[in-house]
Amino acid sequence: MPDLLTEFEHEEVIAAEAKEYHPRRMVLNMGPQHPSTHGVLRLKLELDGETVVKAEPDIGYLHTGIEKEFESKKYQQAVTLTDRIDYLSNLSNNFCYALAVERLLEIEIPPMAQWMRVMLVELTRLNSHLVWLGTHALDIGAMSMFLYCMREREDILRIFEMFSGQRMMTSYIRIGGLALEPPRGWHKRITTFIDAFPSKVDEYEDLLTENRIWIGRTKGVGVMSVPDMLEWGVTGPMLRAGGLKYDARKENPHSSYEHFDFEIPTRQESDVYARYRVRVEEMRQSARIVKQAIDGMPSGRWTADAPHVVLPDRDKMKTEMEALIYHFKIVTEGFRVPEGAVYQVVESPRGELGYYVVSDGTAYPYRVFVRGPSFGNLQATPKMVEGTLLADVIASIGSMDFVLGDSDR
């Protein structure tokens, strides 16, 4: 067993090794406060001239102990924690957690709630991809992209606010369905947005797709082979940009995804440019899904018929004794979840998002493990940037689209 080195000693060892064998090498510290690390990622880079010889990502600056916190919240209360894991795709996290617990409870979600969930999760994907595109382009120097992307993102956040009262920490997808009845006028609001959206994507593509500077900075940069990505646990658009057509929405359809018609965009080059093209195409596909969801939205209840899990309506509470009892019991002691464990996976904007929920039969989760896609993707950073130029590191890590809250939890 090797002795554990402290952070400081470890750096000294790297520096000493670098000096001993390679007098020209230097160790460069990037982050954790570097603007292009999108949060607090730190990279220790060993350089030979401008070439990166060794890279070592250092995470944990945003570790908040969310998994520990889960264990002292009731199942329904814990939904609010899932928002805060990946703060750019909060509804995907609500969604995945709710699906996992619903599988433990074995309750059926009505079609209207399922479709509504799909629609909101796809809007979340647009939201997340827009932030990614804006900041990634900003890192590489295309400043105007950021303004375009934030303009559309604002519309999406307003839609979320309309549904849940919150722009970012929505907690709208709950165990047993949705938190509230969809608001009056949601139909028109989303239709207006989604009809205009494809033309907005055209605008982004006009600015970047054939832009010679953009191509120069992204083509052939950050290449990683598919076997390497599988070995290192990379998922999502990065894998698809390498030609592997895998998407959990198609392969393991959950929550009515099988009723939607959409394509899984792939590319072969597996470089930063390919990842950009895949994500832009994904935005178009998500817009298609949202459109289909609006047109075919089934009518019915937004919560499951499971009185021991879902809070009763206010009017029933005032007229029916049983509803009142259920309300009292759910609020005071929560609901018990049968013993067992499930691993539920959804396709988040970043890749495979998984919730491993273990229940010991009480009203509190015994253990919740969140398999954040960013954690797996970040782990492969050395594989991707070693041997490339320092300036390409920014483009490469930008193309991973990680959120540190998701990896550090």
| Rounded Cα distance, 240 and 232, in Å | 15
Question: Binding residue for another protein (CB under 8 A) from 137, 244, 346, 403?
Answer: 244
- Segment near another protein (CB under 8 A), from 44-52, 108-116, 178-186, 231-239? 231-239
- Segment near another protein (CB under 8 A), from 17-25, 41-49, 176-184, 228-236? 228-236
Q: Which of residues 245-304 bind another protein (CB under 8 A)?
A: 246, 251-252
> What's the one-letter identity of residue 187?
H
Smallest distance from another protein to CB 43, Å? 15
Q: What is the DSSP letter of 48?
A: E
| Rounded Cα distance, 401 and 39, in Å | 11
Using alpha carbons, list the distances in angstroms from residue 190 to 186, 221, 242: 6, 37, 33
Half-sphere exposure of 147 (CA within 13 A, CB side): 5
Smallest distance from another protein to CB 358, Å? 6
The token pair that represents 275 in the structure block:
């990842």
- Interaction pattern, residues 366-395, with another protein; x per rule: CB under 8 A: xx-x-x---xx--x----------------
- Interaction pattern, residues 31-70, with another protein; x per rule: CB under 8 A: ----------------------------xx--x-x-xxx-
Contacts of 78 (CB under 8 A, 6+ apart): 70, 97, 365, 368
Looking at the Cβ atoms of 170 and 235, the one nearer to another protein is: 235
Question: Binding residue for another protein (CB under 8 A) from 152, 155, 281, 352?
Answer: 352
> What's the one-letter identity of residue 81?
L
Looking at the Cβ atoms of 87 and 369, the one nearer to another protein is: 369
Smallest distance from another protein to CB 251, Å? 5
Question: Binding residue for another protein (CB under 8 A) from 157, 162, 223, 358?
Answer: 358
End-to-end CA distance of the chain: 28
Q: Are 371 and 354 in contact (CB under 8 A)?
A: yes
Smallest distance from another protein to CB 246, Å? 6
The token pair that represents 396 in the structure block:
């490469």
φ/ψ of residue 194, rounded to 5: -75, -25
| Rounded Cα distance, 407 and 392, in Å | 22
Segments in 209-349 forming alpha helices (H)? 212-218, 226-232, 237-240, 248-251, 272-295, 314-319, 321-333
- Interaction pattern, residues 86-125, with another protein; x per rule: CB under 8 A: -----------------xx-x-------------------
φ/ψ of residue 309, rounded to 5: -115, -45
Contacts of 104 (CB under 8 A, 6+ apart): 337, 338, 340, 342, 357, 359
Q: How many residues bind another protein (CB under 8 A)?
A: 44
Looking at the Cβ atoms of 81 and 145, the one nearer to another protein is: 81
Looking at the Cβ atoms of 33 and 252, the one nearer to another protein is: 252
Residue 335 in the binding site for another protein (CB under 8 A): no
Looking at the Cβ atoms of 141 and 338, the one nearer to another protein is: 338
Chain residues that interact with another protein, rule: CB under 8 A? 1-2, 4-7, 10, 59-60, 63, 65, 67-69, 72, 103-104, 106, 230-233, 244, 246, 251-252, 340-343, 345, 352, 354, 356, 358, 366-367, 369, 371, 375-376, 379, 408-409
